[in-house]
Structure 1
C-alpha cells in the first residue's frame, strides 16, 4: 500500500504545469462533452482535471465547487472559470468559461430557430408533446438526486419542506427563500454545528487530497493572484459591473425603459444574480414571469425550452436563451424576426453569464482564504436543502401543465397555488410521463435515450383519440 501511495505522489510531482494552449484544448473538450446537466458536467471536469491529469487536488476541487454552489448562476460553468483562473489568471478563466458555454449556446440558438420555423408542423408538434413528458421525469429525477445529497437529517428536510410551501403556497420570492436558508445555516453553524455540517456537497466521503499541480503552485507561492487584495477587488468589481451592465444601459438609453430590449436586459440581468441552485431552482420563477407578467411565451413552451436545453452540451440555464429568443422573435419591431431573435439570444446569454466572471474574479481569492470555514459550509448546506424544495415546486408546476389541459389559480387574500382542473387530464401525457419516470428511476435509462423514445412515442400517441 505504501508503495502505491509513493508512486501516486511521485507521479503527481512529475506533472508539469499545463501550458495555456494545452489547457485550452482540455476546456474545449469539456465544453463539447458536457451533457447531462450540472452533475454530469462536474463529474466530467473531475475526471479530466483531478483523476486523469491531476491539475488540481481533490479537496481544492471540492472547495471550489462548494464556493460556486453558494453563488447565483450555473455552478459548473463557474467551476470551470474558477479552475481556469487558478491556472492562468483572468485569461484562463475567460477561455475556460467561454469554451464551456459556446457549444451549447450555438446549438441552442439553432434549435430555437428550428422550433419557431417548424413548431406547427404536426410531426414536430407531436414530438414536443412526448418531450414534455420526458422533461417531467428529468426534473423529478433531479429532485431525488439533490435530495439524497442534501437532506441528511430532519432539520434539512424541514428546510426543504418550508421552501416548498413558501414558494408554492405563499409565493415568497425565490431570492428571499435562498437568503433565509443561508441565514438559517449560518446561525445553525453556531448553535448546532453537527446538524448543519457536511450537507453532502462532496457526495460520499472523500479520500485524502491528491496533491495536484495547482496545489504545488500554491505551495511554491506562484498563485499570487489568489491572495486577497482589496485594491484589486475594487478594480475587478468596477470593471466587470461596467462590462456586464453596459449593454443594458445602452439599450435603455436607445429604446426607452418600456421597450422589449430593456425589459429583456433588466429581467435577465436580475436572473443572473438570483439564480441560486442552478436552472431547475429558478425555472418556476422565470416561467411565471415570462408567461404571466410579460406574455413572452406560453406555459407549454417553457417546458419545450427545457427539453431542448437538456439535449445540448453546456449549462442547463441556457434555457433562458430560448426565452430571450422567443420574446424578441415575437416582437421584432423593424427587424427581421429571426435577426431579432438572434439579438435576443445574444443579450440574454450575456447578461445571464457575465455576472459569473465578477463573482469568480472578485470572490475566488477570498474563497481560497476561507477553505474549511464551517459557517460558509453550513450556509451552503441549508441553501442546498432549500433548493430541493424549490425544485419540488418546479416538478409540480411542470406536472400540472403537462398532464392537465386546464389550470386555475386558487387565491386567498392574494396568495395561493395553481390547481389543475381534474376533468382536463390528458391520459396520453400522463402515460408518457409515467413511462419516462419508470425508465429513468427504475431502470436507470439515460436522459437522452428517454427524450428520444418519448418523442417517438409522442408521435404515435398523437394519432390516437384524446
Structure 2
C-alpha cells in the first residue's frame, strides 16, 4: 500500500477520543478487551491491519503485566510516539481507577450494610464462574500434550499442597522450556491469541498497514533515556517511602510488594491474582479471603484491566494501618500508590522494548520458555479456582499442615447452598447462554442484593 492510498493519519486529539471510548468500554477481562480493541482499531478506525495488530499483541503477551493495557500503549506509541503511548495507556485505565476507588470508599464506609454485603455476595459467585471458565479456556489452548499437562499438574501441586512461591514456579517452568528447546524435545511457541479475537483478512486500506514509522527504529540512546525516566518514576516512591517511614511501614510494604509483582506477573491477570491473594491474605494479612473476592467482584464489574483489583488491596491495607492519617484518606493514598507502581512498569516495557519486537517475537528460546510458563500458569489458575471456590461455597476453611504439606480443607457442614445455586446459575449464563460478562455480573449482583433484601443473607 502506498502512502497516497492510506486514509488521513489520525491526529493526537482524534486518537485521544477513541482511546477514551475504549477505556469506558473495556469490560469482559483481557479476551473481551482485546476483541473490542480489534473491532475499533482494525475494523472501525482502520488504524492497523491484521498483521500489525497481531505483531503488537504477540509482543504484549510475552511481557509481565496486563496485556490489553500494554497493547493500547503500544498502538498509541506506534502512531504518536511517547505522548501517544502515554495518552492511550492512561485513558485505558482511568475509568477503572475512578470506579474502583469509588467502590472502595463505599465498601469501607458501608460494607457492613446488608444490602451492600448481598451485592458483593452475588459478585463473588459470579467471579467463581468467570475463573472456572478461564481455567477451561486457557487449559484447552495451552495443554496440547502430556508434557504441558504434566507441568500444569506439578505447578498446581506445588502451590496448593506445598505453598511454593509463584515466582519460583514461573522460573522453574521457564527453565524446563529452555531445556526442552535445547534438547529438541518439542516445538515451543509464545502465548496464543485469545480465541475470542476473530480475525478476518484485511480488505480495506489502513493508516499504518505494514509501514514502520521512523520513530520505531532501534535507537539505543533513546532507549536508555526513556528507561532512566520511567525507572525513576517507578522506583522513586519505593525508595522514598522506605527511607522516610522505614521498611515496616504499610506504604513502604505496598510499594515494594506491588513493584515486585509488576516484574513477575507473566501469564495474565488470572495467574497473578493467585500470587496477590496468597501474599496479601496469608503473608501480610491485609485482607480476609472474602474481602479479596469482594475486590475481584469490583474489578470484574468495572472497566479496565482485571489487575485493577490491586488498587482495592492497597486501599484496604492502608485503611487498616493509617498511622496518623484519617483511615479513608490513608486508604485512598494506598490505593493510588498501588496503581502507580503496578502500571508505570507497563509503560517502561513498551517504550523500551517495542523497537526490538521482531527479534523478541521470533526468538525460539523465548518462545520455548513462555510455552512452559503458560502451562504452569494453568496449574496456578486452577489453584486460584479451588481457593475461590472453597471460600465462596463454605463458611469455614481450615489449613491442615503436616510434614511440609499445607492444604486448605473446608468444613463440610458450613456449605452455603445459596452460594452454590448462584454460582451454578452464573456458570450456565456465561457458558451455555453465552451472556456477556457485564450482563452476568449485573444479574449476580441483583440476585445477591435481592437475597439480602429478603433477609436470606
1:10 CA displacement = 8.6
| 1:435 aligned residue (397, 421, 425) | 425
The whole-number CA distance in structure 2 between the counterparts of 1:395 and 1:148 is 16
Corresponding residue for residue 114 of structure 1: 106
SS at match of 2:285: coil
1:347 CA displacement = 0.4
Corresponding residue for residue 366 of structure 2: 376
Matched, 1:93 2:88: no
Residues 121, 205 of structure 1: alpha-carbon distance in 2 compared, 3 angstrom cutoff: closer
Structural mapping, 1:39-78, within 5 Å: 39-78=31-70
Corresponding residue for residue 4 of structure 1: none
* 1:228–1:369 CA contact under 8 A, matched in 2: no
Matched, 1:418 2:413: no
Corresponding residue for residue 72 of structure 2: 80
Q: Deviations over 1:260-317 (max 9, x none)?
A: 1111111111111112222211112211221222221111000000001101111111
Corresponding residue for residue 329 of structure 2: 339
| 1:173 aligned residue (165, 172, 176) | 165
Specify every segment of 5 or more residues in structure 1 that has no aligned partner in the other structure, as ranges. Answer: 1-8
Q: Deviations over 1:98-139 (max 9, x none)?
A: 000111100110011111111111121122222211111111
SS at match of 1:408: strand
* 1:160–1:385 CA contact under 8 A, matched in 2: yes
SS at match of 2:405: coil
Matched, 1:214 2:204: no
SS at match of 1:257: coil
1:25 CA displacement = 1.3
1:425 CA displacement = 1.3
Residues 164, 212 of structure 1: alpha-carbon distance in 2 compared, 3 angstrom cutoff: farther
Matched, 1:276 2:266: yes
Specify every segment of 5 or more residues in structure 2 that has no aligned partner in the other structure, as ranges. Answer: none
1:159 CA displacement = 2.5
Matched, 1:395 2:385: yes
The whole-number CA distance in structure 2 between the counterparts of 1:141 and 1:394 is 12
Residues 159, 205 of structure 1: alpha-carbon distance in 2 compared, 3 angstrom cutoff: farther
Q: Deviations over 1:415-437 (max 9, x none)?
A: 32211122221222122212222
1:191 CA displacement = 4.3
The whole-number CA distance in structure 1 between the counterparts of 2:265 and 2:342 is 9
Residues 192, 427 of structure 1: alpha-carbon distance in 2 compared, 3 angstrom cutoff: same
Structural mapping, 1:5-16, within 5 Å: 13-16=5-8
| 2:348 aligned residue (344, 355, 358) | 358
Residues 187, 47 of structure 1: alpha-carbon distance in 2 compared, 3 angstrom cutoff: farther
SS at match of 1:280: helix
The whole-number CA distance in structure 2 between the counterparts of 1:113 and 1:464 is 25
Matched, 1:314 2:291: no
Residues 464, 195 of structure 1: alpha-carbon distance in 2 compared, 3 angstrom cutoff: farther
Matched, 1:293 2:287: no
1:193 CA displacement = 7.6
* 1:62–1:202 CA contact under 8 A, matched in 2: no
* 2:108–2:328 CA contact under 8 A, matched in 1: no
TM-score with structure 2 length normalisation? 0.92
The whole-number CA distance in structure 1 between the counterparts of 2:61 and 2:190 is 14
* 1:410–1:417 CA contact under 8 A, matched in 2: yes
| 1:444 aligned residue (431, 434, 441) | 434
* 2:42–2:50 CA contact under 8 A, matched in 1: yes
Residues 157, 209 of structure 1: alpha-carbon distance in 2 compared, 3 angstrom cutoff: farther
The whole-number CA distance in structure 2 between the counterparts of 1:430 and 1:303 is 15
SS at match of 2:323: coil
* 2:58–2:361 CA contact under 8 A, matched in 1: no
Which deviates more, 161-170 or 194-203?
194-203
The whole-number CA distance in structure 1 between the counterparts of 2:165 and 2:3 is 50
